[in-house]
Amino acid sequence: MKKLIILLTMLMSFAVLAKPPVKSKFYKFDEHMIDGQVRSPSIIYTNIREKVKFERLLSLKKSFMRKLFDTAKERIFK
């Protein structure tokens, strides 16, 4: 009787420890037909090729150079 109880206990413990089966996913990469409309932006871009004005930026760059060289001499960068 003891052997039967031990045997049943062992069999039940193995059933508990068994891992559940892993579900596999299947992806189908065949041709698909998608019905729909091609959408485009509703905003009309005008004056895209407008002439760029850099003159103001160049004057800012010249005034900025001295400050830039002064900061290079600061102790933090050594």
Return d(Cα 38, Cα 5) in angstroms, integer. Answer: 71
**Would you say residue 30 lies in a domain?**
no
The count of domains in the chain is 1
Query: What is the rounded average pLDDT for all residues in the chain?
Result: 72
Using one digit for the tens of pLDDT, what is the confidence trace for 61-72? 666 778 878 888
**Would you say residue 58 lies in a domain?**
yes
**Would you say residue 43 lies in a domain?**
no
Give the pTM.
0.23
Return d(Cα 13, Cα 26) in angstroms, integer. Answer: 33
Residue 44 has, within 13 A of its CA and on its CB side, a CA count of 1
Q: Which amino acid is at 34?
A: I
What is the reported pLDDT for 68?
A: 79
Q: How confident is the model at residue 77 (pLDDT cuts 50, 70, 90)?
A: low
Q: Which domain holds residue 71?
A: 53-78
Average pLDDT over residues 3-30: 75
**Would you say residue 62 lies in a domain?**
yes
